[in-house]
């Protein structure tokens, strides 16, 4: 029997069947059937990663001053106004992509780290920030134009009368303490402006404007023979708007016999060139009078170096007598053009770095307190930090060469500036129910009751 089974070839089928049964296979296959060959799932290759093409900045910070407009990745052109005493700045650019390469003026800098010092000139200085993406072809270039701006001094006012006023904000370059140095040789140096003054306030008796030049030009004091009559800005720089009597305060600072009276400046009053500008050394008002009238003089020399600030020129260029303001033109030169229309309702003064509301009659005429309320709520050009200018900021707009300030400023890019009085945020120290204003026709600086009505020109940033 066994032999017949083997001979018949059936033993192979039996062995095959037993093997499947023992392995638990639910169905038996004949030796002729062949199972399909198992195949592994198709392998997925990683996709090729393309180089990043992001060449944008996420932040741009400067070590001094502020950028205008405020930084945005979509904006590539900026300006900054640096005090003329700032010799250099750094910029810190941060790229959106870690793979981007940043160069500042051609030198590679690490994203988020400051550049090397960038030396500043009189300006404008162009700072170029170039961002190159990882793909090495996509670039983005940001430009910062750095202008040298004069540092307007603070007014001296420290008493707060209403939120947002001069005594509250105290804008401007802080005064050194003590501000004056008695040189023990008949002179006194103002450490704020660097100007050296005759210490004696009544060295010469009251005289006409022409005689004042003769007196001062012949003065030899402390070994110096270059004494002169101060221009309008230089003389006004002595005024402390916190004080009720300028002569008393200045005499307490080291001057001697300064009189509570008017003192000549070397600046001619352009609406009527037979008159010249004066500063009252009691109240601090800036007015004018005929050149044949007799007033005091306080001689000055040097300046524009060694002080915390450098005063700008007055703008006067016409010579009326040798040694006058139009002849000497002392002070920091004005940029040309001086103003930039930002095409957003604002205008920037490149001399001071201040940004002004371009519209000179936005709110009409209002009381002093009402004006603060109007300006503090002004949403203009995306900024919400508008304020009323202090008396020094407002006076900085005056061009002593022009007979009508409003007409000149409207020709510079302002709109509807009125030939009328404009409020400052500075209270009149002698009678605090009054505040200082600037007349935007003549350029004079009197005071007015706070309950009266005046225009306002809003300002922001700067100093």
Domains annotated for the chain, with CATH where assigned, are 57-149 (2.60.40), 183-328 (3.10.100), 339-460 (3.10.100)
357 by DSSP, 3-state: which? strand
* Residue whose C-alpha is closest to residue 162's, from 435, 384, 446: 435
SS3 286: strand
Q: pLDDT tens, 358-389?
A: 999 999 999 999 999 999 989 999 899 999 99
Tens-digit pLDDT profile for residues 397-432: 999 999 999 999 999 999 999 999 999 999 999 999
Q: Give me the pLDDT at residue 79, please.
A: 85
Q: Which residue has the higher pLDDT, 271 or 37?
A: 271
pLDDT at 1: 42
| Integer Cα distance of 25 and 29 in angstroms | 10
pLDDT tens by residue, 186-211? 999 999 999 999 999 999 999 999 99
Q: What is the pLDDT of residue 65?
A: 80
The pLDDT tens digits for 95-122 are: 999 999 999 999 999 999 999 999 988 6
In angstroms, how far is CA 108 from the centroid of its own chain? 28
- Average pLDDT of 83-104? 91
* Long-range contacts of 235-239, Cβ-Cβ distance < 8 Å, separation of 24 or more: 235/263, 235/265, 235/279, 235/298, 236/279, 236/286, 236/395, 236/445, 237/153, 237/190, 237/192, 237/193, 237/195, 237/311, 238/190, 238/197, 238/279, 238/281, 239/155, 239/156, 239/279, 239/284
- Rounded to two decimals, the pTM is 0.83
Instruction: Determine the pLDDT at residue 43.
Output: 63
Contacts of 39 (CB under 8 A, 6+ apart): none
CA angle, 294 then 392 then 320, to 5°: 40
State the pLDDT at residue 5: 40
Q: What are the tens digits of pLDDT across the range 8-46?
A: 444 444 334 334 434 454 444 444 445 555 555 566 666
pLDDT confidence of residue 157: 98
**pLDDT (0 to 100) of residue 303:** 63
């Amino acid at each position: 029997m066994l032999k017949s089974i083997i001979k018949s070839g059936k033993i192979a089928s039996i062995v095959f069947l037993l093997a499947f049964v023992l392995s638990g296979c639910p169905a038996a296959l004949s030796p002729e059937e062949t199972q399909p060959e198992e195949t592994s799932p198709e392998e997925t290759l990683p996709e090729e990663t393309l180089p990043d093409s992001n060449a944008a900045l996420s932040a741009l910070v400067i070590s001094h001053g502020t950028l205008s407009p405020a930084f945005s990745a979509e904006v590539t052109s900026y300006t900054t106004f640096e005090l003329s005493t700032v010799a250099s700045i750094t910029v810190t650019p941060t790229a959106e992509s870690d793979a981007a390469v940043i160069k500042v003026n051609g030198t590679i800098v690490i994203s988020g780290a400051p550049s090397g010092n960038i030396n500043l000139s009189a300006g404008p200085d162009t700072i170029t920030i170039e961002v190159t993406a990882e793909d090495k072809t996509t670039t983005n270039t940001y430009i910062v134009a750095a202008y040298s701006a004069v540092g307007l001094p603070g007014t001296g006012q420290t008493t707060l009368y209403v939120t947002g006023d001069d005594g509250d904000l105290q804008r401007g370059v802080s005064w050194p303490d003590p501000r004056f140095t008695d040189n023990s040789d008949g002179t006194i140096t103002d450490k704020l402006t660097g100007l050296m003054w005759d210490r004696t306030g009544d060295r010469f008796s009251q005289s006409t404007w022409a005689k004042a030049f003769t007196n001062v030009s012949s003065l030899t004091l402390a070994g110096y023979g270059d004494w002169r009559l101060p221009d309008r800005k230089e003389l006004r720089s002595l005024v402390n708007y916190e004080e009720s009597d300028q002569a008393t305060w200045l005499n307490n600072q080291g001057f001697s016999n300064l009189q509570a009276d008017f003192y000549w400046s070397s600046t001619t009053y352009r609406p009527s060139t037979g008159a010249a500008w004066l500063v009252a050394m009691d109240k601090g008002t800036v007015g004018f009078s005929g050149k044949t009238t007799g007033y005091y003089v306080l001689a000055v020399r040097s300046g524009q170096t060694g002080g915390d600030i450098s005063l700008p020129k007055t703008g006067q260029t016409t010579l009326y007598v040798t040694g006058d303001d139009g002849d000497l033109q002392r002070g920091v030169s004005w940029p040309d053009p001086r103003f930039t229309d930002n095409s957003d309702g604002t205008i920037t003064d490149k001399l001071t770095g201040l940004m002004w509301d371009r519209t000179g009659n936005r709110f009409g005429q209002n009381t002093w307190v009402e004006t603060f309320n109007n300006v503090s709520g002004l949403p203009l050009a995306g900024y919400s930090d508008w304020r009323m200018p202090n008396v020094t900021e407002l006076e900085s707009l005056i061009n002593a060469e022009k007979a009508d300030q409003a007409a000149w400023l409207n020709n510079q890019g302002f709109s509807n500036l009125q030939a009328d009085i404009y409020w400052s945020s500075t209270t009149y120290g002698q009678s605090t129910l009054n505040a200082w204003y600037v007349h935007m026709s003549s350029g004079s600086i009197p005071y007015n009751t706070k309950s009266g009505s005046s225009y306002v020109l809003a300002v922001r940033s700067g100093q």
